[in-house]
């Protein structure tokens, strides 16, 4: 991921958001993630995508620590990057209700912010 341009990283993040939304379309509660093997696969795939989104944002911030701040404050981006760290280092502590809340309540805002950043580069 290091050799990707910022624009490519933003497109990668958008793709991840799209995939998470598609996988979670029929997930109506946090317990739905744990209902059966298929649901658990969606849960784990969504977690992996959230991790890669956080990693991409971390890479963007390393390249230009002011770029992300053009559309949202540092605290906003830090929370997403910290989620990546939580997934990477404390996977066993992840709770379905947290992932559910992110998938249902946070992705639209992130998607809009990523689109704004892409527009700034184009």
Can you give the residue range of the structural domain that contains 20?
6-121
In angstroms, the CA 69 to CA 78 distance is 11
Residue-level pLDDT at 51:
96
pLDDT tens, residue order, the chain (122 aa): 445 799 999 999 999 999 999 999 989 999 999 889 998 999 999 999 999 999 999 999 999 999 999 999 999 999 999 999 889 888 777 889 999 999 999 999 999 999 999 999 87
pTM for the whole thing?
A: 0.91
CB 110 within 8 A of CB 79: no
Q: How far is CA 60 from CA 29, 66, 90, in A?
A: 32, 10, 23
Tell me whether residue 44 is in a domain. yes
Q: What is the tally of structural domains in the chain? A: 1
Tell me whether residue 45 is in a domain. yes
In angstroms, the CA 122 to CA 55 distance is 23
Nearest 10 degrees: Cα torsion 53, 66, 105, 50: 10
Tell me whether residue 57 is in a domain. yes
In angstroms, the CA 9 to CA 17 distance is 12
In angstroms, the CA 80 to CA 76 distance is 7
Tell me whether residue 1 is in a domain. no
Residue-level pLDDT at 1:
46
Tell me whether residue 61 is in a domain. yes
Tell me whether residue 41 is in a domain. yes
Q: Token pair for residue 78?
A: 């830090």
Tell me whether residue 70 is in a domain. yes
């Amino acid at each position: 991921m290091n050799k990707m341009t910022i624009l490519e990283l933003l497109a990668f993040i958008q793709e991840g958001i799209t995939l998470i939304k598609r996988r979670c379309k029929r997930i109506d509660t946090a317990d739905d993630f744990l209902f059966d093997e298929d649901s658990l696969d969606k849960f784990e795939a969504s977690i992996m995508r959230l991790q890669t989104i956080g990693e991409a944002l971390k890479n963007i911030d390393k390249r230009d620590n002011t770029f992300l701040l053009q559309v949202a404050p540092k605290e906003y981006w830090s929370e997403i990057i910290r989620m990546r760290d939580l997934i990477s280092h404390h996977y066993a502590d992840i709770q379905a209700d947290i992932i559910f809340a992110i998938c249902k309540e946070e992705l639209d805002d992130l998607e809009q912010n990523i689109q704004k950043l892409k527009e700034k580069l184009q």
